[in-house]
Amino acid sequence: MGIKKFTYKLGELNVDPDAICNLMGYGEDCPPEIKQIVLDELDGLRDAIGIEAGFLFRNVEMFEDNFLIKIGEHNYEVGKAVFKLLRNSSSVAVFICTAGEQISHRSKELMAKGELLEGYVVDLIGNEVVERAMDKLHIEVNGIAKDLGCKVTNRYSPGYCDWHVKEQHQLFSYFPNDFCGVSLNKSALMTPVKSLSGFIGIGEDVKYFDYTCHLCQSANCLYSNRKPAKANVNASS
Amino acid sequence: MMEELLAKLSDCIEFGKINKVSPYPPNMKDMDGADEITKQLLDGGMSADDILQKGLVIGMEKVGVKFRENKVFVPQVLMSAKAMDAAMAHLKPIFAESSSSRKGTFIIGTVEGDLHDIGKNLVAMMVEGNGYEVIDLGVDVKAEKFIEAADAHPGAVLALSALLTTTMENMKQITKAIKEHNSAIQICIGGAPITQEFCDQIGADSYNPDPQGVVEFLNAKSA
Ligand code: B12
């Protein structure tokens, strides 16, 4: 199987306005005028272009001693936490996903005009869009895995836990240049900014967790006040 | 009378009341905002300095503390910054004419290789709201550009932001280059992966996890 690629419209991604309010720190108490900004901006971005994602499968060898995952010649030192979460994978879906440039552009444009709150809301919409696009991709991967008699893990990205962000250079080497419009600079920063890369583990005996926040040490995470992820890939396919 | 207006102005900043027509916050609907009150104070003969230091800054400081304590979220900070902008629109022309006092100059940028700017912008807004002149060099800023700006504004404090562990490495190089150029230039650093330990290691002068921290660092210096 080669590379699979998808293009999404914002409307099909189940972006929940309340989730955006949640990212701002609000619960049920989100002021109506702020919620309205979220709704208006989501509506304005309805036809946003550039929301793209893709993946390919690669066989892996896993070495518990040094928490190493090998894909051909490439070594991925994913660290203990990520290694354990990917345990028993026989292959991985390597993915790249982006909310595209248009959303970031809109955010910057609003900020520059002094529409700070609106610009910030759009920035958060970008975060949510890339995550929801990833949910779609995850479901695709799960479907293929199932046909092979396998299950999938959650998704994990270089830069999280002890997995170094610079290993994205190897990861990107499996894809054509500018795949999905995403480029990687020398510092392993992706452009557009609202982009994600990483692995989804695949195997007969791998584990999917509904909630992974307890595995992370981050003291200041935006997502720590979040309810468990809605996108349970096993339930929704 | 003027005292009362100043207190009101401080409230407008704290709660993000921009001007009379602004519907936010709902409990200040139809009241004068930062825009009108600043004008009234100027018309009443108060100096731009006093309006800034005794009104606007007091309000912004409260926002900074509440943000640090998680009592308000980014949206409120942004509304306060916007109210601040409305007031500063009246004051900036006066500051430009006189040599009079902003508390100091603060030059901020996201380091080379990094494009993250929301956090950096928040820091810039808070520092400006606390009475400093802020020069924002934007994102992907190289050492030379920081040095050039510092040379053009002697005594200014530099601030570097980075969001990735890889661009932290660039932060280290940039700090080194600046210090080699002129070791007296003060450098503040921040961003999600940055720690006090890293700050000590690279020889920067101050690390803060939030905007209020850097404001307190600057205030301590200018006091
Ligand atoms: C939302 C988010 C995303 C979103 C949006 C990205 C974006 N920045 O727009 C998405 C999902 C797209 C994403 C992607 C990735 N992310 Co991310 N992401 C986050 C998260 C959860 C929040 C970032 C944020 O917006 N914070 C809100 C803003 C307002 O805060 P801030 O920028 O930190 O600024 C505040 C302070 O730091 C401080 N501050 C900032 N600058 C300065 C400067 C000075 C002088 C001072 C005093 C203070 C200061 O004040 C600000 C206000 O309080 C953080 C984790 C975290 N809790 O911070 C990870 C985080 C930034 N991401 C991380 C990683 C690894 C990634 C990816 C590389 C993962 C991957 N392989 O796909 C990609 C990279 C994307 C790219 N373009 O290259 C790491 C980076 C560290 C590292 N290992 O390099 C973090 C820290 C998570 C972690 N591991 O703990 N991410």
* CATH topology agreement for domains B1-98 and B102-223: no
Contact predicate B162/B194, CB 8 Å = yes
Q: Which residues of A touch B165 (CB under 8 A)?
A: 159, 164-165
Q: Judge whether residue A222 has pLDDT over 90.
A: no
Q: Judge whether residue A237 has pLDDT over 70.
A: no
Kindly determine whether residue B75 and residue A117, on different chains, have CB atoms separated by under 8 Å: yes
Q: Which residues of B touch A186 (CB under 8 A)?
A: 113
Of A117, A185, A187, the CB nearest to B78: A117
Secondary-structure class of domain B1-98 per CATH: mainly alpha
Pocket of ligand 1 (CB under 6 A): A 127, 130, 157-160, 165, 168, 189-190, 193-198, 218, 220-223; B 116, 118-120, 122-123, 159, 161, 163-165, 188-193, 208, 210-211, 214
User: Please, what is the average pLDDT of chain A?
Assistant: 91
Specify the pLDDT at position A227. 46
Q: Judge whether residue B121 has pLDDT over 60.
A: yes
Q: Judge whether residue A228 has pLDDT over 60.
A: no
CA distance A116 to chain B (A): 6
Tell me what the mean pLDDT of segment A194-215 comes to.
Answer: 89
Kindly determine whether residue B209 and residue A220, on different chains, have CB atoms separated by under 8 Å: yes
- What's the CATH number where A83 sits? 3.40.109.40
Nearest residue to B65 via CA among B109, B129, B8, B22: B129
**DSSP per-residue codes, A32-56:** HHHHHHHHHHHHHTTT----EEEEE
Nearest residue to B35 via CA among B54, B53, B51: B51
CATH number of the domain at B102-223, out of 3.40.50.800, 3.30.9.10, 3.40.50.280, 3.20.20.70? 3.40.50.280
**pLDDT class for A19, splitting at 50, 70, 90?**
very high
Q: Which of A167-176, A224-233, B1-10 has the lowest mean pLDDT?
A: A224-233
For residue A122 the two structure tokens come to 């759009």
Is A86 part of a structural domain of the chain?
yes
Q: Which residues of A touch B125 (CB under 8 A)?
A: 116
* Chain A contact probe: residue of B22, B73, B84, B174 with most A CBs at under 10 A: B73
- In percent, the amount of chain B with pLDDT more than 70 equals 99
Helix (H, G, I), strand (E, B) or coil at A31: coil
**pLDDT class for B87, splitting at 50, 70, 90?**
very high
Domain ranges, ordered by start, for chain B: 1-98, 102-223
Nearest residue to A139 via CA among A208, A220, A221: A208
Query: What's the half-sphere exposure (Cβ side, CA atoms, 13 Å) at B4?
Result: 1
Contacts 24+ apart (CB under 8 A), B18-21: B18/B79, B18/B82, B18/B83, B18/B86, B19/B86
Angstrom distance (rounded) from CA A141 to CA A208: 13
Number of domains in chain A: 1
Tell me what the mean pLDDT of segment A197-220 comes to.
Answer: 81
In this prediction the ipTM stands at 0.91
The parent domain of residue A171 ranges over 4-225
CA distances from A179 to A34, A43, A97, A188, B25 (A): 35, 27, 9, 15, 45
Specify the pLDDT at position B133. 93
Is A51 part of a structural domain of the chain?
yes
Tell me what the mean pLDDT of segment A200-214 comes to.
Answer: 87
Gap from CA of A161 to ligand 1 centroid (Å): 13
Angstrom distance (rounded) from CA A117 to CA A115: 6
Q: Judge whether residue A229 has pLDDT over 50.
A: no
Specify the pLDDT at position A236. 37
Specify the pLDDT at position A221. 53
Is A19 part of a structural domain of the chain?
yes
For residue A57, the cross-strand partners are A93
Q: Judge whether residue A75 has pLDDT over 80.
A: yes
Tell me what the mean pLDDT of segment B94-114 comes to.
Answer: 87
Is A139 part of a structural domain of the chain?
yes
B22-72 residue pLDDT tens: 988 989 999 999 999 999 999 999 999 999 999 999 999 999 999 999 999
Alpha helices in chain A (DSSP H): 17-24, 32-44, 79-85, 101-112, 116-147, 168-172
Tell me what the mean pLDDT of segment B171-184 comes to.
Answer: 98
Specify the pLDDT at position B96. 81
Q: Does B154 touch chain A (CB under 8 A)?
A: no
Is A112 part of a structural domain of the chain?
yes
Q: Judge whether residue A156 has pLDDT over 70.
A: yes
DSSP code of B141?
Answer: B
CB atoms within 10 A of CB A112: 9
User: Please, what is the average pLDDT of chain B?
Assistant: 95
Is A233 part of a structural domain of the chain?
no
What residue in B sits closest to A114 (Cα-Cα)?
B82
Of A111, A164, A189, the CB nearest to B121: A111
